[in-house]
Amino acid sequence: MHKNIPKFELWLETERGEPLDQPANRPMENFCIIEVKLEDGRRYALNIWTFDFLLLARYPWPYEIDTSQAPAKYVFPPDLFVERLDRNTIEAIITELLAKNEMKEEWLCNENEGT
């Protein structure tokens, strides 16, 4: 177990209770926003994608691969790629990032921003 890792609260956009047929319920090919709140008041917001979502991101909404349309020639990347979008995986990743002091400064929220 890691020592000296600050306790944190994790909010996952995917836990908002969408119906089972919605993309949020595809943990291996999806994207979401997360918020990490530390005990000292710092808040981080990250746009995360699964590795499998990258292929889908090259095609227009609703993110279904349509071979009649050419894929995008570029895609702006997220803040972080992960294997899957579920609470256990993301909590483990955030714990590791905190342990290695790898939470990026650009992920920090300004104090004046709302939650």
Provide the β-strand partners of residue 37.
Answer: 9, 43
19-78, pLDDT tens digit by residue? 545 555 678 888 999 999 999 999 999 999 999 998 888 887 665 666 677 888 999 999
Who wins on pLDDT, 4 or 44? 44
Mean pLDDT of 77-82: 96
The answer for 100, left when phi > 0, alpha when psi is -120 to 50, beta otherwise, is alpha
Check pLDDT > 50 for residue 8. yes
Where do the structural domains in the chain lie, given as residue ranges?
A: 8-107
Distances (CA, A) of 77 to 16, 36, 54, 81: 24, 20, 9, 9
Whether the per-residue pLDDT at 95 is higher than 60: the answer is: yes
Q: Model-level pTM greater than 0.75?
A: yes
Decide: 28 and 84 in contact? Cβ < 8 Å: yes
Rounded Cα distance, 46 and 86, in Å: 15
